Amino acid sequence: MKAIIPAAGHGTRFLPVTRVVPKEMLPIGAKPALELIVDEARSAGAQGITIVISEGKELIRRYFEGQSDIQFVYQKEQKGLGHAVLQAKTDDDVLILLGDAVIAGCNASEGIVEMSRRHGGAAVIGCERVPREKVSRYGIMKLDGERIVDMVEKPSVDEAPSDIAVAGRYLLPASIFSYLETQTPGKGGEIQLTDAIRRMLAEREAYAYVYPGNRQDIGNPDGYYAALTAFRN
């Protein structure tokens, strides 16, 4: 299993600091948020980590320079999360950890890997329950028990099949890359990872793991403050 950490976004919700400091490099105590995510991937068993960056985010590269299990690829155009993940294409199963999502209170990736083992190596997506009025910010699951029946990217409150949201961590088979290669743009005109996973569901079992920790989106000031508090406690 390899890990992919998409960290190519421009951080527009956290200007002006993100003009020079990538949001993923904001400190949580003495470590950049991204290092907490790298630690999480390693302890979940990832053999090799690819961080997807974009031009202007070389600080990330400099910080991790010399760590033999980390490599970098560039996303040259901002075409969405699915497109970012595709830049790190590999023949192995992939643990995807969003670079702006830190999770306090558990190692969500370890739990995901464990659940996948229980289900004979199936795909597993880390999830959290969200307030109904916020479903339009997330990928939302349609579930049968823990099994994923369908999912929809950023639905309206009326269209949302549940209040269980995709929350920053995925364990997917290498075949996801062939779906991503043929994926047409979806919500927001972007190549959505959610849409590629939906197509994969026709051929592969996948399960939702509602992890016991809480995720903070450090891509905006409020989420960042919440992350600082969560990791201090």
Per-residue binding string, ligand G1P, 60-99, x by CB under 6 A, is: ---------------------x----------------x-
Asked if 207 and 151 touch (Cβ cutoff 8 Å), the reply is no
Q: Which of 94, 167, 200, 218 binds ligand G1P (CB under 6 A)?
A: 167
- Distance of closest approach, residue 85 Cβ to ligand G1P, in angstroms: 10
Q: Which residues pair with 140 in a beta bridge?
A: 152, 165
Q: Which of 111, 139, 186, 223 binds ligand G1P (CB under 6 A)?
A: 139
Asked if 22 and 58 touch (Cβ cutoff 8 Å), the reply is no
Site for ligand G1P in 191-230 (CB under 6 A): 192-194
Residues 6+ positions from 143 with CB-CB distance below 8 Å: 149, 162, 164, 208
- Distance of closest approach, residue 65 Cβ to ligand G1P, in angstroms: 27
Where on the phi/psi map is residue 66: left (φ > 0), alpha (ψ -120 to 50), or beta? left
- Distance of closest approach, residue 150 Cβ to ligand G1P, in angstroms: 13
Asked if 170 and 125 touch (Cβ cutoff 8 Å), the reply is yes
CA 197 to chain CA centroid, Å, is 13
52 lies in the binding site for ligand G1P (CB under 6 A): no
| Chain residues in the site for ligand G1P (CB under 6 A) | 81, 98, 101, 138-139, 153, 165-168, 192-194
